[in-house]
A and B are shown apart, each in its own frame.
Chain A
């Protein structure tokens, strides 16, 4: 039986896109500038309908490209507005140079991002290549497993971004979540409004009594200090993310952290992954547990800042892990999430680090089934028992190689 976690919550059936638009309506930012792109179109389409219907007082700016969308969002943010946008894939790629500027100027912009493959060849389906490419752009990255998380993450990210003075993106897997109608609990407008609070920027360009310059040239003598500040802000944001999650739990009842541990207490083998595939993996873990195999899962929610020490500590008790990446790196080595996880293990665990394998899956929306995931666990089981050597290169799931 479907139940609410919050006394005043309401159970709804909504797609990932619908619920992100709903969160944006409740957050009611001052400005949203956006350009539509599949599969994120509905987010700004539904939101612009809210604006047209007078259901939200936001100034909606229909721009002519995603580069302009991010530029306008940055401008609004500098002016002192709470500003948001939404995009996906090629649109996200077109924003690229502005992403770094939003981060460098330390603007608390929140972006709803739907993960989709990058061209070429053209493909509209879900994988995480787009945002993985921007993992070092200075944006907080929060990935969602389902509609509920997308909604909760959007609400929390506003607080996180504004406290950390960093832009934040909240993502869902294209089509798999963006277009999947699921059960979710939404909270009353007033409670979301109260949680999000009013945005009071320390400095706003429209405050003409305290003028300032932003975006001036910064040469050898100061650029490095500013970039250090940005990197440090990302490190410092970890504390903020946990504080906001704590407050969110107290208010709405749902618990969030940097990552979710599923059956990790006594796990001997574990998969680490991000997004919707984590939900599918949970079902596999249940099946394996029923057979007596001590399988576990770590689902990363906050990928930037990367919770290195924490994840290393939790994985140090496991014998073998597999990191499942929904993006390849084309670096001739490993995929992004694996690199972060293994670096964390090497730095924190030394000799006690578990054996680690890396699997790339699901590019361009390619199916990842229960059987595919079970196969990975079976390989990990063999690695843990010492009957198989851990692979030293990227392995691929469900792709025709030869």
Chain B
């Protein structure tokens, strides 16, 4: 793995959209001119089961097809996974973990057993309820991830996601607006405190 490559691991439960989030993220980042990969981990597929998906982002072509074991970024869509899965596996002392939670970064760092500097929190479920009208945390978490990674263009991500959603929800413009608003809010609200 080259030093410049970013690797991301998404944790969710079957049905929460962890795979979709990784695909949306990859497609959105591609529009900014970077090389991407998005792939799910396929296990027993059922609603509610812990699932993972992955992203790679790089300025140069990505040839590797091995799994991601030391992600720089981990996104946790569902805080109840903390008790079920080792979400910090491979994170080390440098990786950053973004959690959908109402707890503070300090409290979450304690739960996760990693340094506070590594933990980012955002109440994506609340944001989703208020913007989309449903607890669908995957799109707001996209915004949070873009913010934490730092060197990605949020407007590019918003525009691409909007274009994707416009194809899928042609007859429901409120869904599109809600999703876009949720990404923006999570981008603004994700914090390290």
Contacts and interface: CB of A to CB of B under 8 A. Distances in A.
Direct contact of A and B (CB under 8 A): yes
Contacts of B75: none
A175 B67 CA distance: 12
Contacts of B35: 2, 183
A75 interface: no
Contacts of B39: 175-176, 179-181
Nearest to B38: A181
B36 A13 contact: yes
Interface-central residue, A1, A177, A367, by most chain B CB under 10 Å:
A1
A370 B30 contact: no
A368 interface: yes
The main secondary structure of chain A at its interface with chain B is loop
The main secondary structure of chain B at its interface with chain A is loop
B1 A179 contact: no
B42 A1 contact: no
Interface string A344-378: 00000000000000000000000111100000000
B152 to A, nearest CB: 14
Contacts of A282: 63-64
Interface residues of A, number: 27
B23 interface: yes
B33 interface: yes
A13 B38 contact: yes
A319 interface: no
A124 interface: yes
Interface string A144-175: 01100000000000000000000000000101
Interface stretch (A82-90, A204-212, A273-281): A273-281
A11 B160 CA distance: 14
- Interface range for B: 20 to 34
Contacts of B2: 283
Contacts, number: 72
Contacts of B59: 1
Interface string B68-80: 0100000000000
Interface in A1-17: 1-2, 11, 13
Nearest to A372: B66
Interface-central residue, A2, A173, A177, A368, by most chain B CB under 10 Å:
A2
Given A280-B63, A367-B67, A2 B42 contact: no
Contacts of B61: 183
Interface string B35-73: 111111010000000000000000101111111010000
A85 B63 CA distance: 28
A368 B37 CA distance: 17
Given A13-B26, A370-B1, A182 B37 contact: yes
26 contacts: A2-B35, A11-B30, A13-B26, A13-B30, A13-B36, A173-B65, A176-B65, A177-B65, A179-B39, A180-B39, A181-B27, A181-B36, A181-B37, A181-B38, A182-B62, A183-B36, A276-B65, A277-B65, A279-B63, A279-B65, A280-B63, A280-B66, A282-B63, A283-B63, A367-B66, A370-B64
Interface of B: 1-2, 22-23, 26-27, 30, 33-40, 42, 59, 61-67, 69
Interface of A: 1-2, 11, 13, 124-125, 145-146, 173, 175-177, 179-183, 276-277, 279-280, 282-283, 367-370
